Amino acid sequence: MALSRLHLLLNKPPPHPFLPPSSFFSPLSSSFHVSSRRPRPIPRFSFARRLLCSKSDPPTQSDPRRDEPAPSIIGDLLDYLNESWTQFHATSEAKRQLIEAGFHLLNENDEWDLRPGGRYFFTRNMSCLVAFVVGESYSIGSGFHVIAAHTDSPCLKLKPRSASSKSGFLMVNVQTYGGGLWHTWFDRDLSVAGRIILKDGHGSFSHKLVKVRRPLLRVPTLAIHLDRTVNTEGFKPNLETQLLPLIATKIEDAEMKSEDKKIAPSSSKSAHHSLLLQVLCEELSCDVSDIMGMELNVCDTQPSCLGGGNNEFIFSGRLDNLASSYCALRALIDTCRLPGDLANEQAIRMVALFDNEEVGSNSMQGAGAPTMFQAMRRIVDCLAQERFREGSFERALRSSFLVSADMAHGLHPNFPDKYEEHHRPALQKGVVIKHNANQRYATSSLTAFLFKEVANVHNLPVQEFVVRNDMGCGSTIGPILASGVGIRTVDCGIPQLSMHSVREICGKDDIDIAYKHFMAFFQSFSDIDKKLSVDF
């Protein structure tokens, strides 16, 4: 019997192909450490994915105040990446983990009842999430310590009318989302994931997430025999006519099942291939007539995994910016897990995950909306109750600090001339603080100092990045949030290569360093901030 099948029948996870059983890999060394901790139960992720892409025995949580180092979160990050094919799935999985950790789900439409020591969160559009923890020593006017990231990544999205055909093939019409490296999407095993609006038998409608794990789509390249100059003049596909995935051949109208032929040509269902609708219905256990709407991304089916000769890299899609999102989420959860973690905390710790950063953040669920600041005002008002004082919210904002966490450009060994000579972040060397004199990043000398001081206190490495003067500079949600109401902000990120490719790469050590840095921020910033005087 195959090893994987034997472990499945025994209800035990198989050993990870890269790690010895009952062990974990030290994030800052090349040695293995044997763990005596009991293995946790198998999570709900498919066991085949765990075999390929995460540890079979991830370490359990430890008290971060103890002398022993914090455990690695690499295995859990791989699980999160493999679960989070879309911004909806990333938010849904974050929601599941928060509830499991004891956070209380709020509704933006309801009145809130908040208390010091409480843990809360809410979602918007199931693609944006705000979670927060109130310190047990909270006092009116205390600030918010926030880590903000985003859930979306460049991808292809199905058009409202996706059904088309070419030269005997059934094709799927797509539109580009964000600034992707679109040539990397060719010759990949692709599928679809997203959300579907379904009707039930009682006249109501529900929002359901769907993910087709098997390869369903493909964007084939043109053979070099028919494009002899591609290697000398570059691959420059037309994104409207040459980036369409194929789903099937059209021989004998193979896409039409007998039950689907009842669909009238004018029906909204005819906007999509009936074969695609059939696949979606099989995943959701529903009828085609139940589908009222859909919002689907094209996704790469290759699992996230460890790679490199020493298994020191993470190969994955959507590292930008789910890696930052997960490090922030876990840092918040793990710094309020134990009794006493919030006993001396006067501030409010918060994580905000936004959608639509890759296209400018100008949406209801993006950082351009007042979601976070409205939540802050409601929190202050709710906690103040009858003791409301003049300027409580404004004073809280002046005492607040935001970490804008988005991936950073690591030094590419084949293109070193693309980087400023003295600011070349390396993989495996820690979080990168981003600077830009033209405020494409919101970092100032003061905010950089405070964030570096958090690292210094906890003996964590920090790097810095500045773009060359002869090159354009990207941006983040940092300036958007900083300028909204004037919150102190530092822009930082985990260094990576292949940013915006369908398949990206980052260092395993940097994930654990970022996780520790974010935990240190939540645990230490209140004390560090008191030591700096600027405007008084």
Assess contact for 191 and 212: CB atoms under 8 A. yes
Residues 160 and 146 in one domain: no
pLDDT for the residue numbered 70? 77
Domain assignment present for 496: yes
- What range defines the domain where residue 189 resides? 155-221+235-250+270-300
Residues 421 and 481 in one domain: yes
Neighbouring CB atoms inside 10 A of 275's CB total 18
Q: Can you give the three-state secondary structure of 454-511, one letter per residue?
A: HHHHCCCCEEEEECCCCCCCCCCCHHHHHHHHCCEEEEEECEEECCCCCCEEEEHHHH
CATH code for position 240: 2.30.250.10
pLDDT for the residue numbered 26? 40
Residues 284 and 408 in one domain: no
Residues 450 and 339 in one domain: yes
Domain assignment present for 245: yes
β pairing state of 190-199 and 431-435:
unpaired
- Beta-sheet strands, E only, within 356-407: 401-405
Domain assignment present for 19: no
Domain assignment present for 265: no
pLDDT for the residue numbered 388? 66
Residues 483 and 431 in one domain: yes
Phi-psi domain of 235 (left: phi exceeds 0; alpha: psi -120 through 50; beta: other)? beta
Domain assignment present for 59: no
Residues 280 and 363 in one domain: no
Assess contact for 522 and 341: CB atoms under 8 A. no
CATH code for position 109: 3.40.630.10
**Percent of the chain as helix, strand, coil, to the nearest 5:** 30, 25, 45
Residues 215 and 355 in one domain: no
Q: Which of 441, 359, 432, 478 is CA-nearest to residue 87?
A: 359
Q: Which of 35, 30, 260, 271 is CA-nearest to residue 160?
A: 271
User: Mean pLDDT in each 10-residue stretch from start to end of the chain (536 residues)?
Assistant: 42 42 38 36 41 47 52 96 98 98 97 96 98 96 97 98 95 98 98 96 91 98 96 95 95 50 50 96 95 97 98 98 98 95 96 97 96 96 79 92 98 97 97 97 97 97 97 94 94 98 98 98 95 81
Our count of domains for the chain comes to 2
Residues 109 and 82 in one domain: yes
Residues 394 and 525 in one domain: yes
Residues 110 and 180 in one domain: no
Domain assignment present for 159: yes
Q: 489 - beta bridge partners?
A: 402
Counting DSSP H helices and E strands in the chain, the numbers are: 12, 22
Domain assignment present for 43: no
